[in-house]
Structure 1
Amino acid sequence: MVQVIVPVTHDDMEEVMSNDTSKNPEENVSTFYRVCGGRIPINLFIISVVSILLIMSCFCIWIASFTVTKQVIEGLSNDLIDVNGEKITSYLNTFMDPLGKLSKSIAYDYNNGIATTSNFRTYLFPKFAEFKTSSCGYFFAGPPSTKYTYSTAGSGNKTYPVYSYQPPGFIGTLRDTINVTTGVVTKYNSTVDLTPFYTLDQDYYNSTIILSTQLGIEGVYGNAYKPYGSSMAIYHSSKLYDPVQYKTGKKVVTGVTRVNISLQNIVDFLSKIVLIGKGFCLVSQQNGILVGGSINTLTPDGNTNLHIYNLTERDAGQLMKEISVKYGDLNELPKRITETVNGIGYIISHYTYKIDNLKWNVYFVVYQEEVIASLTMTTGISVGVAVTVMIIGVIVSFIIGFIVSKPMKALERQFELIKVLDLDTVNIGNSVFKEINSIFGNLKTTVQWLKEIKSFIPEHVFEQLINSQTIEMEFGSVNIKKNESFAESKHSMGTTNDGVSHADLESRIHSSKKGGGSLFQMGLSVKQTVVITCQLKGFFSMEQPSDIENGFKKIMNAIGPITKVYKANLQVLPKFALQLALSANSPGEQDKLIEKSVELAFKLAKAINQVGPDFYPRIGVSCSKARVGNLGTKTSRYYTIVGACVVDSEKLCILADSFNVNVLIDTSCCESLQADIARKFILKPIDKIKKEMNNSSIETIYEVFGEKNTDNDEWLYELENSKKNNAFAEYYKAFDVFSADFWNGISQSEIKKEIDHVLGVFQNYLVRHPEDITTERLISILQPCLNISKMEENSIPIILSSYYSSFDCSYAAFTNVGDVRALPLDI
């Protein structure tokens, strides 16, 4: 089989071996000192080390300070909120607990016969007055319906206490005005309200009976409400039993108590709660209606309490809506959450106040920026201190560097004199540093010895010593330039090597180092491989070398980026041919190898066609298992591909030139991924061939006609593209006339009709594409079938199914049976 060879020269191997630092550590150490030695000033070293230490120390201290400060601030903030939560809960309890106990106590007194109809007026007044309730009394269902209660009449500032009662048989309500201090009636029947009143029809009566029965308790709290012109209020109701039956142990419900109390004190208390900055608190019922808060919770007219979602001050309503959307039921919020609304961060704390059946939500909202304001200030102070310390540290490091480097510089000056044996001008002092002072002492002794030796040295030696500095400097400059030139030369050799890109070589070196063996291991391994052979047409007609050079440069500029993207191994073959190879190194790569290769071939053809009308490609693509690896000796190794795909791609390239098409692929590219190939590209069947005469397999070869595009937003373009795809699909189906499956189920009488239909498809295509050689050949193969007699019509499917073309020194199409022959085509 033909092989693709990537040469790796002896110079490349020497460069690779010289780059392996593990093989000669001493050489690499000397290289390091040769490059870096004598280039780092001691001042710079000391300043850098001290600065790095200061920066690291300041950074670590700042991190520790920031973390601790943040935790402390968050802890203090949480503690403040917890304290306020406990304060509010305790304050609410001082109102709600006495309210429930008062309601239950007057119910107890009635149930046990202490409070009776005859003494309700005198019994209830002390409770009404001492507990400062807004109403306190009994309500009986009857029949007849009766009630006895103290309450407050009027609105606003014009309120006065009354004793309201409904005697048996009276449909409405009678009210007596009383003295708020003594309870003495100041005016009987001050109001006679004839509006019918039935205890059984009152919501508080029915809800008390139902809810207390469900919960198994004697009394319940009602929802807070706001009477018109008055402050928020809440009531507690307890069940009343028949006193006579109650003594026998039977509980027969006859009515309920109702004790109302104003929540104005609670509202005032909540309005005075102070949190961090602009933080605020809210207390709401389970239904979202607000009881009060440290911000305005009333409508503009002041008569109605807002729903928690309708708050406008400080965007509290929008905030609670966002929280509800994110967390669901506001009644089940976690204890602490954070939320951002309109770019503002909030910290929300949720508490629940619960007593008997009453459950209220308490929310504390603080602004994140206000919580971390002190943290920001602390951070700023820390950064300022750190910068100050760093500046001072750098200044100190300058001083230290100067102190340490001063004797070194003195030594440097003295050694410059000693180097040229100018010993009389050598002046060696002392140092405060013990080690340096010892060096000075030894150097003094050395200078004394040199002075004694100097008398034995001829004068011309001193002249040479003085001139040696200039010579050494010039030599060093030349050496550096030589090394740079040598490095550039090696780099140029590495990058211009035929068939091996610099990136590919580095990749292989890296892979070999990971394996721990030789960089280019010997031997072949079996891989799924696709070979693309591309014949560049247009060069043979050029006579001037400059035209060939410029044309080839344009083509390489056009296809170079494409081959790099697809990581294809590119070879330049004789006669202006290109050969590209792609191999699957893992099972995962095999799934997309063929599709990737066909896409590469199509893009290569497209790129070459765009270079100019003088150049056009003829490309063959084939896939097979191939043996890939390195062959040769230790000093000369060659990258090789051995497999059927190499020869087959060259044959397809020749056929592409003969058929005047850009890209040809064989069945090997359509076996495993036909669906993907057909989905992405328009494939046009060209012919059925036998690649080897001694091989019985017959394959179909396809032209990659174009790339499908169904993602365009313009519907007219998409419609036109769809028609084009459908036309090729019809052509594809018509080509099946050369397969045995096509003739299954077709009777003898319909054979020529099918052939006539297929000929019509091919002829219509030829009208649209008169330059198509392959379609003209297929028509010439099918037309003789129409002239076969009826007696031999049954042989037509056999003839066409066994049709194929062979590839040899000449290309001729023929069938196994019959007289039908394809037109010969010389290669």
Structure 2
Amino acid sequence: MDVIEKVGEKVKVFLNGEISPAASLAKVMASDYNNGLVDNVPPLSYLFDKNNIYYPSAIGLFFPDQITTYFNLTIFPGGVPTQSFSIYIKPKGYIGVEHWYANETDGSLIGMIQNQTVPFVIPSLAYWVTSFKYFDLYKTDAVYGDPYVVVNSTACIYYSVKLYNRTLLAKGVKKTVGISKVNVSLLNIEKYLKKVTVLGRGYVLVSETTDFVIGGSINTTAADSKSRVKMFELTERNSGKLMKELAGKYGTISNTPTTTEINSMGIDYIVKRMDFVLENMKWNLFLVIYKEDLTKVTNINTAISAGVAVAILLIGIILSMIVGYVITRPLTYLKKQFALIKKFDLELVQFNSSSFKEVNSIYKDLFNMVSWLNDFKSFLPESIFLQLSNIEEEGKPKPSVQETSHDMKKHDPHHNIHATYSSHSIDHTATDNSSSNSMRSLIASKLGKTGLFKLGLQMKNVSVISIMINPEGLGNNPDTITKIFSRIASGLSALSKTLKADLQITSIHEYQLSFVDSFSKKKPNLVAVECAIKVSKVLDNVLTCYSELDLSQGNPIFSIGISSGKANVGNLGTSNLRYYSIVGPCCTNAKTLATIGSIYHAKILADGNTITDEAKPFFVSRPIDRLLLGPSRSSEKDISTVYEVFKENNYENDEWLYELEQQKKNLKYKDFERAFQIFDLVKENKIEPSEVMQKLYESIDILNGHLLTNPEDSVVTSHLVKVFEYFTREGVSSFGALQMILNYHTQVNQNMKSYSTSGVSAQKASDFEITNYTFNSY
């Protein structure tokens, strides 16, 4: 029966795909009207474009006294199916309706078919009455109507959506003034159902709950080829008689159980009924199977299955014996080698070869794995190997006095010859005739020449992310710190592996992720910003749940800085100890940006080398300050614009309404771009000195306006207002203000101060400063 059910599910998927797009199309038109994009008489080009999306049998806007609707109909002149494309137009105030031929290329009017002058009362038409009946019945703004037969054409079903008075809608009042309606012909459904095959002589039928037939794999057409028939009127394979008996047994055929057995006219049937539901529309799907056909198929399948099972069992036993013998020997060998690898006793691993290609490939992989592990040992702390040795010793029984004496002799320097090997070689202490000696010598020679991790630095494009967590946010509770750190480390580790970043944990409050330019499609600065946004979400989830910091005061829980540029990257150290390092100002600049972020209450800050013109379209960001970056090879000061990054600027194709809404919300960030424009204009000499003061006052007005509408953004906005007011106040002249704008930057320093107190009583004494040394943070 699972096969039968899959046939039913397949039919339901087709029905959904054939009908549901009409609902989406009608909703889009209703939304366009309610939002003022089209009027009561929409442009023909608008309706034609919508018509070309799905080619429904009819599409249009309907009002009590006017309509505009295209029709794609299959008519049958002389019994031959022919496609007709036309349009009905009822102008406002006109008693009748105009019927025109329409151009299938652009939807324009070709010629009039009929000018109906008799009264054409839209509110009295069946689809109008039915739509509003269902609107009230189901308490909704959109409904499916009942199927009906179009004059001289096929049966169809339609979807209606309410249109509202837009003036009242803007005030929150919904007053219906019309409907948008899309028709879908049932002809394609009928054609599809005729091709559906069920087990043996079985067939499928689809009907309304009113018992009218939608279609089926048997003949469901009326004698006149136009009228609709009920399930009880079908004649082929006595299906009408069967449906009538089901209705008599269960009251109505809609009450038929999901699966039932029935005898009709001496024939046993198995009938499976399934519901097909779309919003307010509900259809019955019947799958009728002859019980005799099912029994035959079951018997045949059982016999075949039994024969195949016996054959497979015999062959399997024989093959398992052969394969087991072949596999057992190399597996036993591998088991011994893996036991040595588990303890990192790589110098004792022996290498072998086999005449079987597959087994020999495993041996080669074993060789490569041991080679890599041998090179990785230089990156691992020695404590790991000590723990492995301790675990191994704990599992062994304590040696006797004789065994201890024997071991002492065995390890006595007079009884053994010690050899020294490089960190890349694999020691060997087996006999001279062992075949594994040559293999270990090969590893030593290969890894000693090149190595997997070369020492030295190379100049590359690098993006560094510095993550700083407010220590107060973690609190002092050990359990809380443990929970937070484990979740942060887990999230950062997963991101670093996914985005191919190097993760370094400086402390529980500071983390660093670095991205190096490679052959990947994305540049490191783009990947870094994307990663920072994901890190911000991870930290938001973790710290919001577990942080002990009082967030009501606006205290920042964390801040992230991103800096990009060229840096020397590579491994430093010796063959026994290596350290992956990034030598350049990016690390310090990223940390500086993170520090500034905690001051500005900004989660993510990035420099100008990160948010380039190429990167700006992909992210929602804004400029908030200018920062003097760390030392570079140039003698000139490296002043960079600091950007606050909020989120990615990408949406799915079907989310255009959401994208429009987000673009409106993002308009407030444009204030900062307009205010900051003066820095670029001055830097690029695109503004006259006489215009500087006016531009400064414009920028101040923009920011003050932004502050009024967004008081929560006071930290950054107030700082910029103070800066620009300082330029206007201290610049004296336009030329002086221009020079101040050109040289403006923020510099982060560190201070070292020495204090003492004066007075006899410590309670009355006050601190006084002895020394104050200021030095750059880098």
TM-score (norm 2): 0.37
Give the TM-score, by structure 1 length. Answer: 0.35
More helix by share: 1
Which protein has greater RCO, CA pairs closer than 8 Å, 6+ apart? 1
